[in-house]
Amino acid sequence: MEEIATRPYTVLEASKKLGITTRAVRFRMESGKLEGAQIDGKWVVYLPSSVDEEVSEVKENGRISYLHGEEGKKEKKEEEEPQYQPTVPPQMQMVMDQWLAPIVARVESLSRENGKLQAEREQDGLEIARLRNELQESRKSQPEEEPVVKSRGFWARLFG
């Protein structure tokens, strides 16, 4: 690495400082992206001095830009305040894209459909109330009919 290394960090400290897993730190040491050595049976990582400035500059995918090369660096704009964006591991993002996105879309669709059905239900309720009122008023306006007296049957009149 071209940059001057700072004090040695443990693999765990380096992973916390870089915002990646300890496994990723070990992989980067193996691939030569990070310098490391084994001291007294424990691995230590030598991080470049620029990592302190770059730690605050987290990419959309949650990784530090110098680990991915110059094209990964984000240009800072002086007028914008840095915004916190939670980091999502790539595996979790894949699960979210594959499984959760269709579920969220379905829930939103069902929510819209539910809203439409509730509006129809309200309209039906208003129509029912209107029809009940019309029925009651039509009953009030009709003259009362005298009760019909049922005639006695043939046998009751004959013997009775």
Q: Tens of pLDDT along 63-119?
A: 444 444 444 444 444 445 566 666 777 777 777 778 888 888 899 999 999 999 999
Distance, CA of 68 to CA of 73 (rounded, Å): 8
| Site of tokens 């110098």 | 66
Q: What is the DSSP string of 96-139?
A: IIIIIHHHHHHHHHHHHHHHHHHHHHHHHHHHHHHHHHHHHHHH
Stated pTM of the model: 0.34
pLDDT digits (tens, 9 = 90+) for 134-144: 998 888 887 77
- Is residue 45 within 8 Å of 34, Cβ to Cβ? yes
The whole-chain average pLDDT of the chain stands at 76
4 or 19, greater pLDDT: 19
Predicted confidence (pLDDT) at residue 18 exceeds the cutoff of 80? yes
For the packed helices 11-18 and 22-31, what is the interaxial angle rounded to 10 degrees? 100
